[in-house]
Chain A
Amino acid sequence: MRKILSIDTTVCKGAGTCGAMHPQLFSVGDDGYAVARRTDLVDPADIAAAASVVDVCPTEAIQLTSVD
């Protein structure tokens, strides 16, 4: 399984939930908004971690899409 992780910057409000939960996958840039540190995820542990953040983000800014 392979997933693409991205941030919808038009709705991100920079609350920082993602970076606090999984700093290996997310950081918050100098402008205060979230950035995906890695976008191409294959490790099931990374995919599970990213999925756990999707539902917790207060603005639904995290997108995790299947590629196969």
Chain B
Amino acid sequence: MQTTEQAPTLFDSAYYQDPYSVYDWLRIHDPVHRFRFGVGDVPMVFLSRYDDVRALLSDQRFSNDGAAWGSEEFKRSGMIFGAGTLIGRILTVLDPPDHTRVRKLAMGAFTPRRVATWKEPVERIINETLERLEKSDEPDVMDFASRIPADVTGEILGFPLKRFADMLDAIERAFHADPANPDNESVVAAAFEEIVSYGRELITEKRRNPGDDLTSVFVQARDGEDRLSEDELVSLVAVMIMAGIDTTRNLIGSAVLALLDHPDQFRLLREHPELSSTAVEEFLRYDGAFCVGLFRLAKEDLEIRGVPVPAGTPVVAGLQSANNDPEEYIDPRRLDITRTGQRHLALGYGLHNCMGAALARLETGIAVPALLRRFPTMRLSVPRAEIRFEENWLLRSLPSLPVELRPADVTR
């Protein structure tokens, strides 16, 4: 047994700025790491090696359904995502056979054919967003990165513009709540309720005026063959509202930072935009939007590498740790947009792999090369040390990435 006495701390301030050195230590010294999670002091296990993380994600002895399988400490901690609302029953937490039925209907909306039809609106939105960035007095890549997936989601789901800003605000409150606020839990719960009510509103609207948007496709899956319950329909629309915005925003932001940190790769992608598809996979691997997966709950008493994991224990899949495992990737902290080989786990793996993966790839693969083409000499406008990641246990998120768009012009 490894001693964990000198183990670096997960989820503290130092970790958020440099999680990779923590992961490096854990992979070598304590790959099945028992620790207590700050919120609720819940005993958990953290997996850091690629093989272990991938095995966990496809292991049916684990469930994402915290309300059904979580330990008492976990249930009491308030950590169960959207507990007590329809958000608590989203596809993300369902087990088979319900998962299979709902996912099948949901995937019908993400066919490669349909994704191909999104290319035109995505390109149009990215061009509009570049215009807006160009005119900004204090250009910030995160404004660019935020706007794209928000507008794309609004358009694809068929969201009426007048409700759109309220919806974005609710998402912000749900996912970037201040943990220091004593009312944090109720703020988050209220935001989730709002997202659910936007979902209901949208469904009502699409029943009245069906279009070729995703919401209308889901409404048909409910009304046409009656295979989705009304609650499942609302949950599905709610998850569509939530899932693609913050995640893609973070991926685009981290990708641009990674390129600014690796000028040779910046130049390579600028000169060879045809490398965008391997580049997107490398952005996902290098600094994907999720640091870790959603909690997996052991459904029975079991062992991982000889470490006992009692039923109900939340097990954390260290996605970004796995994606930087030197056993799988040579020199993992070097960005290499031509890298091939082992598939990363940034979009998950197994039953709950990311449903919107094709859309995230489409948006990032167009947005990042377009930004470099438009502003080929872009650079940070603040010292590198001032670029800080948000202290968010789930998402790898940059609040701000201020840049000079055309520094050569400034000095002229």
Contacts and interface: CB of A to CB of B under 8 A. Distances in A.
Interface of A: 11, 13-17, 19-21, 23, 28, 31-33, 52, 55-60
Interface string B62-106: 000000000000000000000000000000000010001001100
Q: Which of B58, B112, B341, B347 has the largest number of chain A CB atoms within 10 A?
A: B58
Given A32-B343, A33-B343, A58-B357, A20 B351 contact: yes
B351 A21 contact: yes
A16 B57 contact: yes
Nearest to A52: B100
Given A52-B100, A60-B112, A15 B107 contact: no
Contact of A58 (B54, B57, B342, B353): B353
Given A21-B96, A59-B358, 18 more contacts: A13-B343, A14-B343, A14-B349, A15-B348, A15-B357, A16-B54, A16-B58, A16-B349, A20-B351, A21-B351, A31-B341, A31-B342, A56-B100, A56-B103, A58-B355, A58-B358, A59-B112, A60-B111
Contacts of A58: 107, 110, 353, 355, 357-358
20 contacts: A11-B112, A13-B343, A14-B343, A14-B349, A15-B348, A16-B54, A16-B58, A16-B349, A16-B350, A19-B58, A20-B60, A20-B351, A23-B58, A28-B58, A56-B104, A58-B110, A58-B357, A59-B112, A59-B358, A60-B111
B95 to A, nearest CB: 11
Interface of A is mostly: loop
A29 B33 CA distance: 27
B108 interface: yes
A55 B355 contact: no
Interface-centre pick from A23, A52, A56, A59 (highest chain B CB count, 10 A): A56
A23 to B, nearest CB: 8
A52 B101 CA distance: 9
Nearest to A59: B112
B357 A13 contact: yes
A57 B107 CA distance: 8
Pick the most buried of A17, A28, A32, A57: most chain B CB atoms within 10 A of its CB. A17
B104 A52 contact: yes
Given A55-B108, A56-B104, A58-B358, A19 B350 contact: yes
A55 B357 CA distance: 16
A55 B354 CA distance: 15
Contact of A55 (B107, B343, B347): B107
B17 to A, nearest CB: 30
A16 B96 CA distance: 15
Nearest to B350: A20
B144 to A, nearest CB: 26
Nearest to B60: A20
Given A11-B112, A60-B111, A60-B112, A17 B341 contact: no
A59 B112 CA distance: 6
Contacts of B108: 55
B317 to A, nearest CB: 13
A49 B341 CA distance: 30
Nearest to A23: B58
A21 B100 contact: yes
B347 A15 contact: yes
A45 B284 CA distance: 37
A19 B353 CA distance: 12
A26 to B, nearest CB: 10
Nearest to A11: B112
A13 B111 CA distance: 14
A55 B110 CA distance: 11
Nearest to B108: A55
A56 B343 CA distance: 20
Nearest to A33: B343
Given A21-B96, A55-B104, A58-B358, A16 B353 contact: yes
Given A56-B103, A58-B110, A60-B112, A15 B353 contact: yes
Contacts of A31: 341-343
A32 B342 contact: yes
A57 B54 CA distance: 18
Contacts of B349: 14-16, 20
A21 B58 CA distance: 8
A15 B100 CA distance: 15
